[in-house]
Structure formats: C-alpha cells, structure tokens
C-alpha cells in the first residue's frame, strides 16, 4: 500500500465515526441494538456512569477489543464516550473501527459513534446516571438528577 492509499484509508475511517448528542442517545438508549462504551479510566469508579454502559478503560482498550466484540454481539451501534469526548472517546472509537477494518470480519457493527461532550455534559444536563458498582452495569440503580 502506498502512502497516498494509506492516507486515503485513514480519511475514510475518520469519516466513518460520527457524533451523537446526549438527547439523541437518550431517545435511542432503550434500543436493544445499542451498546454504550465508557472508556474513562479510574474516574468511572468514583463518578457515576450511564446506566447499562460497558467499561473499557482507555489505558488498556486496545488489548481488550476482542473482549468488547464478544460483549457487544447482536448490537449494531456502539457509542463511545469519556469525560469530555475530546480525546479518549474518539481515539478509542477510531481504534475500534481500525481494528474491524484490519480484521476484515463482519461483526455486525454498522455505526460507531462518539457521545458529543462526553459523560460530564450528560450528567450536568440531568440525564439519568447509575452509581452501581456492578460489572457489567445492569442499570438498575439509575436515577435522574434534579
């Protein structure tokens, strides 16, 4: 592959990742086809999280992509987020997309999204959060703030 081809492929991958607003996610969150992937590191353990989200810390994310693929079997949309969704969320989403491209294996994922403004904005806007310590989160201790 030439450098030009590699850059074109990177560009295509970058275009395949879109953002979703908190409102859009809230309206889709009950869909059985969506998985929310929280890539925050230690702060998830003392902050709340989006109910039902999967936790794959960004510092070990690349090594655990095969586990994530198993955990999201049957889902067609993954929504990644970190605290602000400026670095870790988008970069993990990109790593996941690149992994799927490299594997050339159809695992059924059609949409890879990043939660716009991340968990901090989700929580600050009063959307439901969960404070359980369950792994994986079952979302049964979710409560709306305010």
Q: Is 82 a catalytic residue?
A: yes
Q: Which of 82, 92, 130, 137 is catalytic?
A: 82
SS in 3 state form for the chain?
A: CCHHHHHHHHHHHHHCEEEECHHHHHHHCCCCCEEEEECCCCHHHHCCECCCCEECCHHHCHHHHHHHHHHCCCCCEEEEECCCCCCHHHHHHHHHHHHHHHHCCCCCCCEEEEECCHHHHHHHCCCCEECCCCCCCCCCCEECCC
- What are the residue numbers of the active site? 82
């Amino acid at each position: 592959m030439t450098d030009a081809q590699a850059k074109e492929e990177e560009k295509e991958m970058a275009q395949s990742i879109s953002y979703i607003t908190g409102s859009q996610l809230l309206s889709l969150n009950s869909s059985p086809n969506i998985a929310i992937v929280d890539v925050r590191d230690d702060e998830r353990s003392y902050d709340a999280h989006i109910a039902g989200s999967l936790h794959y810390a960004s510092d070990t994310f690349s090594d655990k992509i095969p586990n994530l693929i198993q955990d999201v079997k049957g889902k067609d949309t993954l929504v990644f987020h970190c605290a602000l969704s400026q670095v870790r969320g988008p970069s993990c989403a990109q790593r996941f997309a690149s992994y799927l491209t490299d594997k050339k294996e159809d695992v059924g994922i059609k949409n890879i999204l990043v939660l716009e403004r991340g968990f901090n904005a989700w929580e600050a806007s009063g959307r439901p959060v969960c404070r359980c310590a369950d792994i994986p989160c079952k979302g049964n201790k979710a409560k709306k703030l305010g």
